[in-house]
Structure 1
Amino acid sequence: MQLKANFDHWEEVMKPAGFNNLMDSNALEAANSAGTLTLPNQIQIWVDFKNGDKKALSFIYQATVKSLFNYGQKFIPDKEIVADLIQDLFVELWNQRERLSNTTSIKYFLLKSLRYKIFRYLKRNKDVFIKNGISDDYNFELVFSHEHKLIEDGFAEEQKKKLALALTKLSKRQKEAIYLRYYNNLSYPEIASLMLLSEQSSYNLISKALKVLHKHLLHYAYLFFLIYCFC
């Protein structure tokens, strides 16, 4: 997708944040560490963004791009497609900024918006994805990174196998709920809204997932490792 033409001076705004190197892991890490969205400052940042402040746009991108990219890849393995969808999302938000509602959680707002775009993209391109073994309506793959420093520090091979096996016991919706709760720190109401569930259903989904993990991982020490390896 060629989308940069929709936003004047796109490179000027996003280059400091590494947007043109979205698929480069070092650029992602640098962008992700460049800003932290916390209350109350993110409320003001969002107001500034809605008022047309390009610095606020760049800051929001820097503070959220890694989370968005990682989340998107859980649905679509193709890095270029995910990068294009994220770029498209920021273009659309900028063009529609004056009509956006207020939010107390920019990260939640962006994750929800990206999820919607991903599902629309999968629907429009379902033949291609089905051909490649990817569901066109709901696909969420959760794996741990073998490059994570905890594994490099000597996590036992048997424990790695148990972790991988435990993940296969979760449904795709359970994987997503766990990921949103423990890697992205979303609240239960936010998870419910994002996944189109009732709040009670989001509690139940995560509770059942934790029981499955506990059963197969023996104790919650493994779960903490699981959480840190979702990147």
Structure 2
Amino acid sequence: MPTSRIFDDDSGLWNAFQQGDIEAFEHIYRTHSSLLLAYGKRLCSDHDLINDVVQDVFLEIWTRRSTLRDLHTIKYYLFRIVRNKLSKIRMNAPLLATDGEDVIADDQLLSPSIEFLITQQETNNDQSARLQKAIVKLPSRQREAITLAFYHDFSNDEIAGIMGINHQSVINHLNRAIICLRDLFTSHPTALILIGLFL
């Protein structure tokens, strides 16, 4: 009876995939497809479009596998492709209208899960709802940066690459978002502690 292979790291997995290993490809798909769908659906309200984009990404990397470059991480590479594809679609259609920051509109972008700020912490429903609403009100680039950092665990350099901005801009967006959230929750000690975890 065949057993699933274990890949030591992203590099080994990617190398096997580039050589046409279907099991490696399936492993990449299983590991990353749901994350890409969740991220894409926070960038665009057209969920059918996001499903198509994610499927296209996996079809594209499979057909071009032998010519693809070495990776920093597979997750980073796939996130960047999805974002680039959505940016190109936005340039050709009003599906992803901008808000003046050359990113997706506020009402369509990133409603981040509260879980990424409340990991292993207990808060009441009212406080959680207040924090969620505060995050949604952040400028779109701040929201995207904070989501990539705390929900998807990307480094500042990786966020810069995904968003197409420089390292310092990422730091600025994160700092401004955290300061804004901290100011909104000065009367809520537990929320302050949670926000302070990321300072």
* TM-score category, normalised to shorter length: 0.7 to 0.9
In 2, are the aligned partners of 1:35 and 1:62 still within 8 Å (CA)? no
1:64 to 25, 29, 32: 32
Gaps of 5+ in 1: 1-33, 226-231
- 2:103 is matched with which residue? 138
1:189-217 deviation per Cα after TM superposition (whole angstroms, max 9, x unaligned): 11111111111111111111111111113
**CA distance change for structure 1 residues 61 and 112 in 2, over 3 Å: closer, same or farther?**
same
Distance 1:92 1:144 in 2: 29
Alignment pair present for 1:77 and 2:45? yes
Q: Residue 70 of structure 2 aligns with which residue?
A: 102
Are the equivalent residues in 2 in contact too, given 1:162–1:216 (CA < 8 A)? no
Deviation at 1:158, TM superposition (A): 2.6
**Is contact 2:42–2:111 with CA below 8 Å preserved after alignment?**
yes
TM-score scaled by length of structure 1: 0.69
Same amino acid, percent of matched pairs = 27
Q: Deviations over 1:117-153 (max 9, x none)?
A: 1111222222xx3xxxx5155222324479x9x8xx9
> TM-score with structure 2 length normalisation?
0.79
Deviation >4 Å, runs of 4+: 34-37
Letter of the aligned partner of 1:203 in structure 2? I
Deviations 1:74-132 (Å, cap 9, x if unpaired)? 11122221111100011111111111110131000000011001111222222xx3xxx
**Count of aligned pairs between the two proteins:** 181
What amino acid is the match of 2:156?
A: Y
Q: Which segment is superposed worse, 165-174 or 185-194?
A: 165-174
- What residue ranges of structure 2 are gaps of 5+ in the alignment? none
